[in-house]
């Protein structure tokens, strides 16, 4: 059950991060600070979504 929750939340994070990244790149803000913030948040969401299943796999193997 724990794995399914992590995979679902990871997929949601990847999708929302990608959509936010596409939105930030297609219509960038005129303020460079806001644009940098949008890029950072969307990049962080994509990275968290990609690494969460890998970290779950790594740490669940160490418990066994």
pLDDT means per 10 residues, the chain with 64 residues, are 90 95 92 94 95 90 68
What is the rounded CA–CA span in Å between residue 56 and residue 18? 22
Q: What is the number of structural domains in the chain?
A: 1
What is the pLDDT at residue 61? 79
What is the pLDDT at residue 60? 86
Q: Are the C-beta atoms of residues 38 and 24 closer than 8 Å to each other? A: yes
Q: pTM for the whole thing?
A: 0.82
pLDDT in tens, 33-46: 999 999 999 999 99
Domain that holds residue 38: 2-63
């Amino acid at each position: 059950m724990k794995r399914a929750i992590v995979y679902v939340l990871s997929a949601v994070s990847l999708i929302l991060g990608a959509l936010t990244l596409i939105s930030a790149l297609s219509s960038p803000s005129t303020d460079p600070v806001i644009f940098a913030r949008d890029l950072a948040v969307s990049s962080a969401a994509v990275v968290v979504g990609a690494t969460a299943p890998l970290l779950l796999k790594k740490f669940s193997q160490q418990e066994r």
